[in-house]
Amino acid sequence: MSQQIDHLMNEDRRFPPSEEFAANAVASPDLYKAASADRLGFWADQARSLLTWHTPFSEVLDWSNPPFAKWFADGELNVAYNCLDRHVEEGNGDRVAFHFEGEPGDTRTITYAELTEEVKRAANALSELGIGRGDRVAVYLPMIPEAVVSLLAVARLGAIHSVVFGGFSADSLRSRIDDAGAKLVITADGGYRKGRASALKPAVDQALSDRGDGVQATVENVLVVRRTGQDVDWSDERDLWWHDVVPQASADHTAEAFPAENPLFILYTSGTTGRPKGILHTSGGYLAQAAFTHRNVFDLHPESDVYWCTADIGWITGHSYAVYGPLANGATQVLYEGTPEHPEPGRWWDIIEKYGVTIFYTAPTAVRGFMKQGRQIPQKRDLSSIRLLGSVGEPINPEAWMWFREVIGGGKTPIVDTWWQTETGAIMISALPGITTAKPGSAQVPLPGIAIEVVDEKGEAVGNDAGGLLVATEPWPSMLRGIWGDPDRFVETYWRMFQDKGFYFAGDGARRDEDGDIWLLGRVDDVMNVSGHRLSTAEIESALVAHEATAEAAVVGASDETTGQAVVAFVILKESFLREHTPEGLAQALRAWVGEQIGPIARPRDVYIVGELPKTRSGKIMRRLLRDVAEGREVGDTTTLADTAVMSTISSQVK
């Protein structure tokens, strides 16, 4: 089967950086020159200039046993020292590390000196509990400062954290604890979500309870942060309150140096299909690329910027761009516990106004959610402090991109659309603000030092103006080092497809345009085949979102007697349009619209107007479930959905 993906849409809007932005930009075109002249030398320079090494490295990359890479292997460093102590030693202890905003409205301002002290105490408390180098610690917490403190304390000891998103069930938590063999769980009584205290500790108790299968959990202790004050069950021999052990611990703690390849964390990813994989990241290469990308892609001026990444710490974006990258760079951040709509839909904009956020990094799913509610909500706030916007997680449709720039960015800010994965550890493809002329909807160019190609099924580059499979052709510093406990699955999942070329296969479809810029087209598993044409979900969804009535759309291929597969669209309308039009009329109009915008081949056979779309907990649309609905099948496994009730609502709306 050909892996060529047909190209349907044209986007000719261009946004060069303003002169002022370009003049003050952190990144410079020299980065590209330096990286293409000597790629490994470039990464060595970044790792040396952005990080502090206890023992300098002499070797950059060891690729003698692919796909198992080692970066900076004979160097030694302490990740937490790089994120904390050195900023204090350099005289920046008074700089705010976090403006914390709890959902109920409680706040905390935490400087680098205070954060360093708290992490030292927590590290001492954890070592009292027997945690040391190589031990695994599961973290199951809301978005509160103790979550960041926990990660850094674990890192400081050379131990390995495994964050499990607070929205996951007891079963998911247990399977992750078992897989990693975690010795300690750090959790809270609960957290605040949508105006209510939502319990966490009972899920830990349930996860660790005897399941009647004779398998004992590996966990020895549970450390519990008091957040909501709700009642909890307690096991005297196992459970400890954070406030009983951390504040009492000594604030003296010397950061020990660990080898660059010491594991830093495991993060489980289920993606949109399949059994979770424990993605393993290590220290030096990960931190170097996280710091480099955070500084250059977000144009960080640490002394003046207020940076806010809205991702939960349970996802890779929260790890790399709310903890490690920004803290390594000494950034001032906002940390927010709750949801965008509590107590009312403008909460995020209130926070931006309150703290004067200058750099704002979020996901397309959030942007489209705001489009649905209407621009009058953000327009009531003063968002003029914002000077850079970032997007991650899914393709951002050109219309959502334009809305983001106009309504949130005041029509003037650059937007960086950043492509990367849990597996890549840090950003791989993105514009560099101040240098790149932006194109709405395109992630554009591989970062300096990153080798990306779009290839056919044989691994040959497709060239410009063609679509295919996205691969990384060379190893990169923050690449995953494996799947925890399963090297065969690591090789099989990511490297088998282009084994003879040694390429990493990301699972995404992509296209290069006439200029060679990269456009992400969605997961290749979701590509449709209509009358022999391979169509990507992303382009048809973009066409639907470009209609004035649409807020969000998901497209799937459903089997069809005449065309092989037919395009079936699920569409969420903007609230203002729902009031004034009938769903039937709009569905007709949307079919015709797609036909006009991109041609009859892409015209949906069916358009269903729905109230919600099935999404994973990190906001990605699960098209596999929509395919079940479109083909009239019973809906498959919904356990990874954020809201499992959504599918029955959609099924009944479709009927």
By CB under 6 A, name the binding residues for ligand WTA.
269, 315-317, 392-395, 417-422, 443, 506-508, 520, 523, 618
The least CB distance from residue 357 to ligand WTA, in Å, is 21
Q: Three-class SS of residue 504?
A: strand
Pairing of strands 277-282, 482-483: antiparallel
Query: Which residues lie across from 184 on neighbouring strands?
Result: 137, 221
Task: Pick the closer one to ligand WTA by CB: 124 or 317.
Answer: 317
The least CB distance from residue 503 to ligand WTA, in Å, is 15
Task: Pick the closer one to ligand WTA by CB: 112 or 420.
Answer: 420
The least CB distance from residue 507 to ligand WTA, in Å, is 6
Task: Pick the closer one to ligand WTA by CB: 84 or 626.
Answer: 626
The least CB distance from residue 588 to ligand WTA, in Å, is 30
The least CB distance from residue 443 to ligand WTA, in Å, is 5
Number of Cβ within 10 Å of residue 606's Cβ equals 14
The least CB distance from residue 484 to ligand WTA, in Å, is 16
The least CB distance from residue 13 to ligand WTA, in Å, is 18
The least CB distance from residue 241 to ligand WTA, in Å, is 33
At which residue do the structure tokens 């004034």 appear? Answer: 580
Task: Pick the closer one to ligand WTA by CB: 397 or 565.
Answer: 397
Distance CA 474, CA 513 (A): 22
Task: Pick the closer one to ligand WTA by CB: 222 or 472.
Answer: 472
Task: Pick the closer one to ligand WTA by CB: 512 or 523.
Answer: 523
The least CB distance from residue 315 to ligand WTA, in Å, is 6
At which residue do the structure tokens 């597969």 appear? Answer: 565
Residues in the chain: 655
Distance CA 180, CA 458 (A): 36
Residue closest to 518 by CA, chosen among 470, 558, 474, 555: 470
Q: How far is CA 330 from CA 29, 148, 344, in A?
A: 24, 14, 32
The amino acid present at 172, given as its one-letter code, is S
Task: Pick the closer one to ligand WTA by CB: 73 or 506.
Answer: 506
The least CB distance from residue 310 to ligand WTA, in Å, is 13
The least CB distance from residue 51 to ligand WTA, in Å, is 22
Task: Pick the closer one to ligand WTA by CB: 192 or 401.
Answer: 401
Assess whether the previous peptide bond of 343 is cis (omega < 30° from 0): yes
Distance CA 499, CA 30 (A): 33
Distance CA 557, CA 572 (A): 18
Task: Pick the closer one to ligand WTA by CB: 245 or 527.
Answer: 527
Task: Pick the closer one to ligand WTA by CB: 306 or 311.
Answer: 311
Distance CA 378, CA 340 (A): 12
The least CB distance from residue 515 to ligand WTA, in Å, is 18
Number of Cβ within 10 Å of residue 612's Cβ equals 16
Could you tell me which residues come within 8 angstroms of residue 104 by beta carbon, excluding any fewer than 6 positions away? Answer: 192
Task: Pick the closer one to ligand WTA by CB: 51 or 392.
Answer: 392
Pairing of strands 528-530, 533-535: antiparallel
Phi, psi at 607, each rounded to 5°: -120, 120
Q: Three-class SS of residue 162?
A: strand
Task: Pick the closer one to ligand WTA by CB: 112 or 504.
Answer: 504
Distance CA 384, CA 378 (A): 11
Q: Contact 310/74 with Cβ under 8 angstroms?
A: no
Our measurement of the distance from residue 315's CA atom to the centroid of its chain's CA atoms, rounded to an integer in Å, reads: 6
Task: Pick the closer one to ligand WTA by CB: 61 or 506.
Answer: 506
| The two three-digit tokens of residue 649, written as one number | 């609502």
The least CB distance from residue 554 to ligand WTA, in Å, is 14
Number of Cβ within 10 Å of residue 21's Cβ equals 18
> Cα angle vertex 66, ends 64, 68, to 5°?
100
The least CB distance from residue 246 to ligand WTA, in Å, is 31
Query: Which residues lie across from 569 on neighbouring strands?
Result: 555, 607
Our measurement of the distance from residue 65's CA atom to the centroid of its chain's CA atoms, rounded to an integer in Å, reads: 29
Q: How far is CA 136 from CA 185, 240, 516, 542, 597, in A?
A: 9, 18, 43, 42, 52
Distance CA 123, CA 145 (A): 15
Q: Contact 207/174 with Cβ under 8 angstroms?
A: yes
Task: Pick the closer one to ligand WTA by CB: 146 or 539.
Answer: 539
